[in-house]
Amino acid sequence: MQRINDRLVNWASLLEEETLRQAEKASQLPFIHPHIALMPDAHLGKGATVGSVIPTLGAIIPAAVGVDIGCGMAAVRTQYHRDDLGPGLSTLRTAIERAVPLSAGSYNTRLTDSARRRVEQLTAEAEAAGFDPGRYAKNWHLQLGTLGSGNHFIEVCRDEKDTVWLFLHSGSRGVGNKIAAHHIRVAQDRGLDVPDRDLAYLDEGTPEFDAYLRELRWAQNFALLNRDEMMDRVIDCFAAFVGGPVEERERVQCHHNYTERETHFGEEVWLSRKGAINAERGRPGLIPGSMGDASYVVVGRGDATSLNSSPHGAGRAYSRTKARKTFTREQLRAAMKGIEFRDTDAFLDEIPQAYKPIDVVMRDAADLVEIRHTLRQIVNVKGD
């Protein structure tokens, strides 16, 4: 841990100067209490740093949550051993790719019964919150149970005892993105004197704040139910592949782009975790590496200075554009050796070398979380 100043504390040993400058700007906002915590995977974001924990009094910065509201992880520990999988893993991968719509703009053509029930729940929640998700995305209900692209993924993994886990990463999809973008614009249109336009905020007690909070909470639950729906489909695919039922011996869910009301250093604050997870003492969490590196099932240590938080992943070292210009298809294949994946140039910007080394991130996070399981990929599924 390194205290940069009285309003910024850093856990990242690998930190670019531009990222630090960005976090310092945010830390000078007058309603920060007591300080911003930079996680070990911190890197440059839009307005607010990805991998930062931002506690605010009487205000919320919509861009400090980000445009993928409620993005996070889900994992299920099964009763199966790696040896139970046998050959033909491409069959499992393609089955998952058929069951879960992939890529940006790829949605369901019809809803499963479980998805329909979840949509009914979300519809009731939106009505109770007094807004219509359809104003943001007419087909929002068809987005439930879809993955997206970029760093979102579905994986079959094995832990240190070769127990098989099912693991995935996604958020609130197009509807959440449009909700976020709308409220970021509302905050920006206030014409506030802030060091970065994307640090524009909404004041607690105003209609604009209340509207954002209602829709934010709805989108966070959409993201959670989206992961549950996808996990149910992945479990069905996996059960068909192994020829037997799946026992859920453990299911872990965690957001890493969200805001909650929490108490820190004697004050109730709005705590925005943008690329960070809740790591209060005893709380289970998930920290993924890149598509070819280890991921971790963890439990929080409850470090007060970190605002009970920990990193959410490896953190980018190369922008997507720079990664595409730097790395080759052959390097991607080498990094993914032994893992069943769709071999395509589309994933060059997700090559493991484009991310910070996850072992360094986890070493930096040693005071924040305890590692329970180390997961290694067997099958990787991503959207273009």
- Do residues 270 and 201 make contact, with C-beta atoms less than 8 angstroms apart? no
Q: Which residues pair with 250 in a beta bridge?
A: 77
Look at residues 66, 60, 65 and name the one whose alpha carbon lies nearest to residue 29.
60
Say if strands 153-158 and 36-43 run parallel, antiparallel, or are unpaired: unpaired
CA distance 282 to 58: 29
Q: What dihedral do alpha carbons 40, 44, 46, 48 form, nearest 10°?
A: 40
- 313 backbone φψ class: left, alpha, beta (φ>0; ψ -120 to 50): left
Identify each DSSP E strand in 145-230 by its residue range. 153-158, 163-170, 202-203
Strands 2-5, 8-10: pairing is antiparallel
Answer whether 364's CB lies under 8 Å from 287's CB. Answer: no
Residue type, 293: D
* Residue 88 CB neighbour total at 10 angstroms: 10
DSSP H helical segments within 39-172, as ranges? 89-99, 113-129, 140-143
Q: Which of these, 317, 311, 250, 248, lies nearest to 278 by C-alpha position?
A: 311
Out of 183, 264, 312, 373, which one is annotated catalytic?
Answer: 312
- Per DSSP bridges, beta strands 36-43 and 8-10 are parallel
264 in active site: no
Cα R_g (the chain), whole angstroms: 20
34 cis-preceded (ω within 30 degrees of 0): yes
What would the two tokens of residue 173 be?
Answer: 């999809």
Provide the 10 A C-beta neighbour count for residue 100: 23
Token pair of 321 as six digits = 């554009």
Catalytic residues: 312
